[in-house]
Amino acid sequence: MHNNHEVAAQAAAFVQSLKSHRHANMPAIRFRHWPQFISTVRELMEKN
């Protein structure tokens, strides 16, 4: 999987909004980037 820094930043913002109980406004993610987004979210959620 090719690491895309924009997708990683979106995932980090998504996790931060989840943890702070706010809504996340996320731009559309291309389907090919979805596995990276989900794996990054899972990784960040498990850290804390």
Cβ neighbors of 20 (< 8 A, separation 6 or more) are none
Domain that holds residue 13: 5-47
Please tell me the pTM assigned to this model. 0.82
* pLDDT tens readout for residues 6-36: 999 999 999 999 999 998 888 899 999 999 9
Predicted confidence at residue 27, as pLDDT, reads 85
Number of domains in the chain: 1
Q: Check whether 1 has a pLDDT greater than 70.
A: no
- Name which of 16, 38, 20 is nearest 29 in CA terms: 38
Predicted confidence at residue 3, as pLDDT, reads 78
